[in-house]
Structure 1
Amino acid sequence: MDLPLVVGVDGSEATLWAVDWAADEAARRKVPLRLVHASLWERFEGAAPDGLAEKPAEQVMAENIVEAAARRAHRRRPGVPTTTDVLPEEPASALVRESRNATAVVLGTHGRGGLAELLLGSVSLSVAERASCPVIVLRGSADDRAQDDEPGLVVLGVKEAAADSAAARFALQEAELRGVPLEAVRAWRAHGHARPAPSAPQDGPAPTHEQQAVEALKTAVHDAPKAVEVYRHAVQGAPRPVLLAASQDADLLVVGARRERGHARLRLGRVARGVLHHSACPVAVVPERP
């Protein structure tokens, strides 16, 4: 059974764009769409007793939100199977639980309050840290290039030389599904005139920081499908501004994150948090295997 693409909705413009984006993504992946609204209305009004003619106002609003989102998804992609659910609980916890049986979770950057950075920190960032599947946060806006008909590209931020990276697999799959190139980016910096120490004894001189970055890029995308055109860029500079610059012309920016040892949370460092807050395009945070 294909796992659904889960979207957190709250009736805001940001989450309606998330519905559009996720409907397109579900059509590309040929998976169902699941629209979820999580609300603590039961805490404030109590569950509606059986047989009561009138539902609590917050429950009615929640049901209206998911129904409107479902209508929007159907207009966007009529062929995508879509289900809805209203969960009377805290949004981040509900979406983290939903992630256990999802292809990915798609979130807008902010809700009805309009405080983009604040809600990103409290909900979207919390889900990205704790989810079991990739989390896609829709940075940018519906008017950005990512929503145009012009072909774009998928950017992969390469952090380390991993031959079996979940983030790389996800990025390559996205590029193949979209029919666009993949740009693998690795930032490198030389501290003074120092060269990195080699991991094993070598006959020649130790590789430079730039050479190590080039090798990391080759390793990360060595299994690229033939249908995907791959560009590898080793860029001198700090990782966060390098990736933010790459996001300007991208449809999607993909970064990986590992779980903290002994903890359920992913280790989102300054780079991942920086692109989640400031990227010019949607950002996918992909959990890596420990």
Structure 2
Amino acid sequence: MNARVGRDGGEPLVVGVDGSEPSLRAVDWAADEAVLRGVPLRLVYACLWDRYEGGAVAQGLGRPPAAPPSPRDVVDAGTERALARHPGLRVTADVLDEEPEYALVREGRKASALVLGTRGRSGVAEMLLGSVSLAVAAHADCPVIVLRGSHDNQATPPVHGRIVVGVGEDPKNSATVRFAAEEARRRGVTLEAVRAWRCPAHESTGHPLLVGGPERLYEERAAEELETALRDVPEDVEVRRRTVEGHARRVLLDASHQADLLVVGARRGEGHLGLQLGRVAHGLLHHSACPVAVIPHPDGAA
């Protein structure tokens, strides 16, 4: 891996930090990803985040837990951590005096991607995703990568050798597949494209001679949609195609156990609390066994 990459420009990869252990682990992952992309790494701390999250940094700085680090200590520690991992990486850092949701969404307008860690403090808490990550994933203009599950603090080398992409209801919208294919090519791993399908119950029952007929038609349609979605994947990317009967959320959650990254499109809609993610992306962000990349689409389609 060439640690000098990141010096030559390009939109930075932005990682949110708050002094917690999950956010410091996110710095490790983001540093690897920035090197893969050949872009700078930018650390952002929003000052209105809870100050008591800084125990991990305080310990690293030799301070007692009762003396929490300042915001500048947090970003300085994150910068040192990234440079220790990749000495040639270009790293910048800022402390912003505003709510993290607004700060990160704004940062995303000039970022190649945003990287966020989960904020759980226990095994049970880590099953739940913080409101910051959900809000950013619902509003950011760039890809948002949330480090769910056990990612071993690394984007590289690959653990499972597989990037999984969920193909949604609009296979002609290629942004999600294009992002996943680029990630697979950077890592030199297989791209597994998954299309979940279901046959309505009222169509699967009928004349005994027609048993299996409707299901076969839905499966064939899913396979055709998968081919449409993959039509522009570069030839040097190894692709595995899978059509699976079942709910998309469950199918993709199962696939996440053998993936280094799960990539899904952002189906966004207006709810009573404002712009929100669709149920599939929302469920994956809460329960995926691996990092999840949420890719926005101009028309909001998944």
Partner Cα distance (1:102, 1:143) in 2: 24
Map of 2:19 onto structure 1: 11
Partner AA of 2:19 in structure 1: G
Q: Quote the offset at 1:227 in angstroms.
A: 1.3
Report the RMSD for the aligned CA atoms in angstroms: 3.0
1:23/1:76 contact within 8 Å kept: yes
Map of 1:221 onto structure 2: 230
Over the matched positions of the two proteins, sequence identity in percent amounts to 59
Q: Quote the offset at 1:151 in angstroms.
A: 5.0
Which segment is superposed worse, 207-216 or 172-181? 207-216
Indicate the SS of the match to 1:126.
helix
Partner AA of 1:126 in structure 2: A
Partner Cα distance (2:233, 2:253) in 1: 24
Partner AA of 2:182 in structure 1: Q
Q: Quote the offset at 1:113 in angstroms.
A: 9.1
Partner AA of 1:33 in structure 2: L
Q: Quote the offset at 1:82 in angstroms.
A: 0.3
Map of 1:116 onto structure 2: 126
Partner Cα distance (1:269, 1:250) in 2: 22
Partner Cα distance (2:175, 2:159) in 1: 27
Residue 70 of structure 2 corresponds to residue 61 of structure 1: yes
TM-score by length of 1: 0.83
Map of 2:43 onto structure 1: 35
Decide whether aligned partners of structure 1 residues 112 and 244 sit closer, same or farther in structure 2, where only a CA change above 3 A counts. closer
2:151/2:290 contact within 8 Å kept: no
1:6/1:102 contact within 8 Å kept: yes
TM-score by length of 2: 0.80
Decide whether aligned partners of structure 1 residues 10 and 110 sit closer, same or farther in structure 2, where only a CA change above 3 A counts. same
1:101 to 110, 132, 153: 110
Partner Cα distance (2:154, 2:196) in 1: 24
Map of 1:129 onto structure 2: 138
Indicate the SS of the match to 2:277.
coil
Partner Cα distance (1:109, 1:245) in 2: 20
1:190 to 165, 183, 199: 199
2:166 to 147, 150, 157: 157
Residue 1 of structure 2 corresponds to residue 22 of structure 1: no
Decide whether aligned partners of structure 1 residues 2 and 162 sit closer, same or farther in structure 2, where only a CA change above 3 A counts. same
2:127/2:287 contact within 8 Å kept: no
2:267/2:278 contact within 8 Å kept: no
Indicate the SS of the match to 1:159.
coil
1:185/1:232 contact within 8 Å kept: yes
The superposition leaves residues 198-240 of structure 1 with CA deviations (integer Å, 9 ceiling, x where unpaired) of: xxxxxxx998111111111111111111111101100011111
Partner Cα distance (1:59, 1:150) in 2: 35
Map of 1:46 onto structure 2: none
Partner Cα distance (1:66, 1:271) in 2: 33
Decide whether aligned partners of structure 1 residues 266 and 26 sit closer, same or farther in structure 2, where only a CA change above 3 A counts. farther
> Unmatched 5+ residue regions in structure 2?
1-8, 50-66, 205-213
2:262/2:290 contact within 8 Å kept: yes
Partner Cα distance (1:21, 1:266) in 2: 28
Residue 283 of structure 2 corresponds to residue 274 of structure 1: yes
1:14/1:110 contact within 8 Å kept: yes
Partner Cα distance (2:261, 2:98) in 1: 30
Q: Quote the offset at 1:266 in angstroms.
A: 5.9
Partner Cα distance (1:192, 1:160) in 2: 19
